[in-house]
Amino acid sequence: MSKVYEFVDRRLLRFHENGDPRKVVKLEREKMQFKLADGQVLIRWLCAPINPLDINIIQGVYAIKRELPAIPGGEAVGRVVRAGPSSNLNTGDLVAPLMMPRPDCWADYSVVEADGLVKVDSRIEPKTAATLIVNPCTAWLMLKTYVDLEKGDWIIQNSANSGVGQAVIQLAWAWGLNTICIIRDHPEHRKRAQELRSMGATHIFSEEEFGKDGKKFLANLEKPVKLALNGVGGRSSLRIAGALCRGGTLVTYGGMSKQAHEFSTAQLVFNDIRVRGIAVGMSLLELDQDLVQRMLKELQELAVTGQLNAPQMDAHAMSDYEVALANSMDGKHRKQMLVFEESLKSKI
């Protein structure tokens, strides 16, 4: 006799059409019917950050399209409530989704394939566990897989105060790499620079400062800059590409300026720079899984020892999702976190 279906009441955020997340995402309630198949688990999601990836998927502009209606959320931390047959996870395990963007995290509960999850060390703080995949994995892959870097080498990055930028700083510090960090011109520039120094940033410039003083600074470095990390585009990408040594590599992971990425003919032809791109969701699906598991092990070890921490975030209950989405999109606020387990809100 086949197993009967079970039910669980859940709240969820869902969009029925692509468009402005502030308009198309709605809070819904339903009694979810489920029956765990082989290798499936029922997850109680605890908290989930709002990433640019999520915004782009809702807008319909991301390379991977969702079948509608859809529940957003590709990054989160949750706990296994029920494990189906042949699952490699147990009830009570803390987990994060690995194979983005399919796990439907913006909900109280979801049924997920266990092999699309990674078990998370319970010693890691929930907010760090919930942000372990997108930004730290992007940073790890950019630092480890494009250029052979040695202790004492220099890298340069723009968007240094972004989630990826902060992860780059922390990993580089842990591995003995020097970072040239460029941040947007802002009234609170000094405060933001001090925050990055506390994470291990070696040198920090505003875009304006680097435009004026960058060449002189680079000329006095003892070692060449082999790697540039670009999350902005426009003139900023042109500046950091100009910092590279001959044969250096620029890796683009975003375009916050919403301007075309700029590189000069001289940089490409005479300096022979390499220009690459990374989308971490696709990379996690395409890379050798032994490499992925090694990366996740290293990141968790750094998180346990306090060498890798989540960026500062504003926590919002699911009922306040409209504020969280608006803050995520206006570019004036810190990273936003949706909290489904109310007891965690004070810990974010």
Half-sphere exposure of 67 (CA within 13 A, CB side): 2
Distance of CA 70 to the CA centre of its chain: 21
274 closest CA partner among 142, 87, 89: 142
Eight-class DSSP state of 245: P
Distance CA 251, CA 237 (A): 10
Query: Which residues lie closer than 8 Å to 28 by C-beta, 6 or more apart?
Result: 11, 12, 13, 14
Euclidean distance between CA atoms 330 and 318, whole angstroms = 19
- Identify the active-site residue in 5, 62, 109, 253: 62
Active site (annotated) includes residue 62: yes
Cα 262 to its chain centre, rounded Å, is 24
Structure tokens given for 210:
């680097």
Nearest to 77 by CA among 10, 14, 116, 127: 127
Question: Which amino acid, one-letter code, is at 191?
Answer: K
Q: Which residues are catalytic?
A: 62
